[in-house]
Amino acid sequence: MPNRRFTFYAWGVVVFTLVVILWGDVVQATGSGDGCGAHWPTCNGEVLPMFRGLETFIEFFHRITSGLSLLLTIGLLVWSRRAFPKGHLARLGAGLAMFFMITESLVGAGLVLFRLVGEDASIARAIVAPIHLINTLFLIGSLTLTAWWSGHPEHRPVWKGQGLVGWALGLGFVGILVVAASGALTSLGDALFPVHNTTEAVGRALTPGEHFLVQLRIYHPFIAVLVSVYVVLVANLIALLRPSRYTKPFARMAGVLFILQLGAGYLNVLQAAPLYTQLPHLLLSDLVLVTWLLLSVTALSLAYPARPPTSEVAQAR
């Protein structure tokens, strides 16, 4: 039985967490990750720091909002245990969200304590950056599924017997994560080695001896285009093979969001990655991931047959 109050609260946690994620991008883009020094959970050794600079405010505000997001997720987990019976998918989603919230906090703490912030351009930071973003995507995805399943418990996905649809959706999910990982490296390179235009970015990337982050960032647009083409084609295929009240709009939404994402990425490259283009680009990345997850759980749901009747396929065409 759907719990509307829980569902409303869960979607609120999703929105708030998205805001926290976007502010985290502000932290990196402005080089404010070192604003609290090598102190965690305190800021410069103080519980309530003196704001001696903008960097301290930006980093401390991110920590405060991240802490609130953690508390909201704890509330989501506890409420899910009280509102739904054992085995309900909303409980599973809340449990996963709590797990990824904890790992998100640990990664953030590690970045600070090991000084993988500010102007650090080490291999270690380059490894952690995509891990951090992928964990963030898992977090926002888990929160979204919790909210969705609380109102639509019938959408329990199964992989067995799904054939092409299951493999296509799974490969699309992996592709989205690969784009995100390459984007994290590109964003880090943009923050540490800013350029004034695309020509300079390409020229530096092709220069022997340049830093590896400078050389790697030119690959992200090509990866994004390839995955975008795949996602748009597969989304249309899913709408054809799994026509339903939910799969069709989610398929259209996934295609539109990826096209918008490509446009935002192009603008980001054209403008040499200023903050006002980075934030929409990151937001669209999150929205693409959650839309793909919602398309997947509805298309692979027990509520719909693994192989729709021929008449339904013909009608979808």
Q: Are residues 148 and 176 part of one domain?
A: no
> Do 62 and 188 fall into the same domain?
no
pLDDT of residue 118: 83
- The mean pLDDT of the chain is 90
Question: Does 219 share its domain with 133?
Answer: no
Does one domain contain both 93 and 166? no
Q: Are residues 215 and 113 in the same domain?
A: no
Same domain (yes/no): 65, 104: yes
144 and 43 assigned to the same domain: yes
* pLDDT confidence of residue 195: 87
Residue 86 pLDDT > 80 = yes
Domain that residue 127 falls in: 1-153
Express each pLDDT in 38-82 by its tens digit.
788 888 788 888 777 898 899 999 999 999 999 999 999 999 999
**Band (196; pLDDT cuts 50, 70, 90):** confident
Domain end residue (candidates: 103, 128, 153)? 153
78 shares its domain with 224:
no
Q: pLDDT for 151-180, tens place per residue?
A: 999 899 987 888 889 999 999 999 999 999
Same domain, 302 and 316: yes
Is residue 243 within 8 Å of 309, Cβ to Cβ? no
Determine the 3-state secondary structure of 196 from DSSP. coil
Per-residue pLDDT, 311 = 43
Could you tell me if 161 and 289 lie in one domain? yes
Q: What is the pLDDT of residues 224-274, one digit of tens each?
A: 999 999 999 999 999 999 988 899 999 999 999 999 999 999 998 888 778
Q: Looking at the predicted structure, is the pLDDT value of residue 91 above 80? A: yes
pLDDT tens profile 5-31: 999 999 999 999 999 999 999 998 888
pLDDT value, residue 306: 52
Query: For residues 38 and 113, is the Cβ–Cβ distance under 8 A?
Result: yes
pLDDT digits (tens, 9 = 90+) for 118-158: 889 999 999 999 999 999 999 999 999 999 999 999 899 98
Q: How many distinct structural domains can be found in the chain? A: 2
Neighbours of 226 (CB within 10 A): 13
d(CA 119, CA 39): 17
Distance CA 70, CA 269 (A): 34
